Structure 1
Amino acid sequence: MRLALGALLWISLSVTAVAAPLRFVVPDSWAMPMVQLERGQPIQGILHDVMVSLATQVGVPAEFHVLPRARVQSAMEHGEVDVRCYAAQSWLPNQSGDYIWSIPLWTQPDVLISRHEPLTPVVPASLPRQTIGTVLGYSYPTLQPLFDSGHLLREDARNQDQVLEKLLAGRYRYAVSNQWTLDWFNQRLLPERQLQGVAVLQEQSVGCYVRNDPDVPVQRILRTLLRMKMSGEIDDIIRLYVGKP
């Protein structure tokens, strides 16, 4: 009887260990087509679909922790979450803790945008002193020297959608967005109202990083991401939302 109970306990513990969810951190600043949040949880979008597929192929449930952008790295450092996607090492120059990075999975340009197409090329350093629409906590390496000098001023919004809505409403003349979000936002606007990309600020390759912990299947996660990228699965997910990788 004792042996039978021991066997049942071992099976129960083994099932619990196998079924432990993969905990993804989701900044609440993301917008479609990256992620759509509903009642505090992601329900669709490029990153939602990639993370769900990753967890499924690793063989565990996906668990999403939606946090303010400023709390994301702290959650990783304190072991509250396991995986962060859509990040670049250059965004985290003072990163502490033990993490392993995936291969680059996406390449996205940050674009300076306006309500009107300019008659001449826009050079940020040549703009008169003014406010630029930005997302709270986001890094803009090309513009940072101009922010530091006071030549340009940040006006932060909580997420990328709010930045674009404020630009459309005329709160400022220029804002920054990634290209996918700009294209998605413009889909609902008449051609004459669509926002215009006026200068590419920078283009960075981004991927995922994983907390290097014995309780996290790190190598299985990284191998799965590599396979998803090499097989074209990630590009196929992108095409579902934006029509092009």
Structure 2
Amino acid sequence: MTWVKPLCYHRFMAPFRIAGICLLLALSPAAMAGPGELVFVAATNHNMPLSRFHDGELADGILKDLGDSIAMRMGLHARYVSAPAKRVAEIVSSGRADGVCFVLPRWLPGVFNWSQPLIPDAGVLVSRVEAPPVRVLSDLANKPVGTVLGYSYSMIQSELGRAFVREDAPSMELNISKILHGRMQYAIMGRMNAEYLMHAYPQHKLRIDFEFDPFMAQCAFSPKSAIPFSDVQRAIDGLVADGSVERMMRRYRL
């Protein structure tokens, strides 16, 4: 069985370019790790500072640095398979990739081997500069807010119920584009993504209104991987203990 050629495309949206996304149409046993390889899924819903894609392949960002470092610590070569977020759990659980990083047990259904917590982040509400400030979740009641299709926002849903008015888009980038073009006032995204965007593009004049649901993201590894999880765990623990993970994060703090 052979690879099915991925369908790749670039999206450009003024005033900033959206990274190329590669939607993987199929994965075969060829996607599994070869000799000397550690295969990670690169979820295409991420953007900088977590991930930057070029021609559909992971090219830069915290998740590439982390995967490369884990593999190097084990004397292996990291390889990345791009896939939509909704396919990540299936690909890793089936053993067609060894692991994925920047996930939590509540996001990833199935049985996996979990690393220690590695990457701190939180949800934030990003607003147009002229939008009325939102200080608490109840201020969002009945106001359209940009969300990502397929994402669960359980804390906000629990607080607002039917007053949580989702405006779903395929990606965070599309939501930000809507804000910049005046089609929407508010959107939910990760703090790291928001801070990176605001520093890289100050001309957008966005602001963060409030933070919610802080977490420490982990890596998940397949029980079907041919690589012993104890070896992976030892490599990750070593990267945390010697400060390597913190140095990776520091590289992307603008």
Larger % of strand: which? 2
Cα drift, residue 211 of structure 1:
1.0
Residue of structure 1 in register with 2:146 after alignment: 133
| Structure number, greater radius of gyration | 1
Instruction: For residues 89-126 of structure 1, give each alpha carbon's deviation from its aligned partner in whole angstroms, at most 9, with x where no partner exists.
Output: 2324xx323x2111100111110111127776522223
Say how many residue pairs are matched.
Answer: 222
Residue identity over aligned pairs, in percent, reads: 27
For 2:34 and 2:106, how far apart are their aligned partners in 1?
Answer: 34
Aligned to 1:161: 173
Inter-CA distance 73–124: structure 2 relative to 1 (3 Å threshold): same
Indicate how the Cα distance of structure 1 residues 239 and 139 shifts in structure 2: closer, same or farther if over 3 A, else same. Answer: same
Residue-by-residue CA offset, 1:138-181 (whole Å, 9 max, x unaligned): 2322212357x321222222332222222222221111111111
Kindly indicate whether the alpha-carbon contact (under 8 Å) linking 1:132 and 1:173 is maintained by their aligned counterparts in 2: yes
**Is 2:58 aligned against 1:46?**
no
1:194 aligns with 2:208: no
How far is 1:134 from its partner? 1.5
Judging changes above 3 Å, is the alpha-carbon distance between structure 1 residues 33 and 151 closer, same or farther for their aligned structure 2 residues? same
Larger relative contact order, structure 1 or 2 (CA cutoff 8 Å, min sep 6): 1
Matching residue of 2:82? 66
Distance 1:172 1:190 in 2: 19
Alignment of 1:104-123 (within 5 A): 104-116=117-129, 122-123=135-136
Distance in 2 separating the partners of 1:229 and 1:110: 24
Contact residue 131 and residue 185 of structure 2 kept, 8 A = no
Match for residue 227 of structure 2 among 207, 216, 219: 216
Q: Structure 1 regions of 5+ residues with no counterpart?
A: 1-16
Residue 189 of structure 1 aligns to which amino acid in structure 2?
Y
Q: Distance in 2 between matches of 1:47 and 1:159?
A: 18
| Alpha-carbon distance in structure 2 between the residues aligned to 1:184 and 1:120 | 21
Does 2:117 match 1:100? no
Any residues of structure 2 matched to 1:139-150 within 5 Å, and which?
Answer: 139-145=152-158, 149-150=161-162
TM-score by structure 2 length? 0.80
Q: Residues of 1 paired with 2:159 and 2:183: CA distance?
A: 20
Counterpart code for 2:59: I
Q: Quick one: distance in 2 between partners of 1:200 and 1:110?
A: 6
CA distance in 2, matches of 1:139, 1:128: 17
Report the TM-score, using the length of structure 1 for normalisation: 0.82
What are the superposed Cα offsets for residues 22-48 of structure 1, whole Å, 9 maximum, x if unpaired?
110111100001010001111110111
CA distance in 1, matches of 2:170, 2:106: 22
2:237 maps to 1:226: yes
Q: Aligned partners of 1:117, 1:133: CA distance in 2, in Å?
A: 16
Match of 2:52 in 1: 36
Paired residue for 2:29?
Answer: none
In structure 2, distance between residues paired with 1:119 and 1:132? 13
Equivalent residue letter for 1:51: G
Displacement over 4 Å in runs of 4+? 117-121
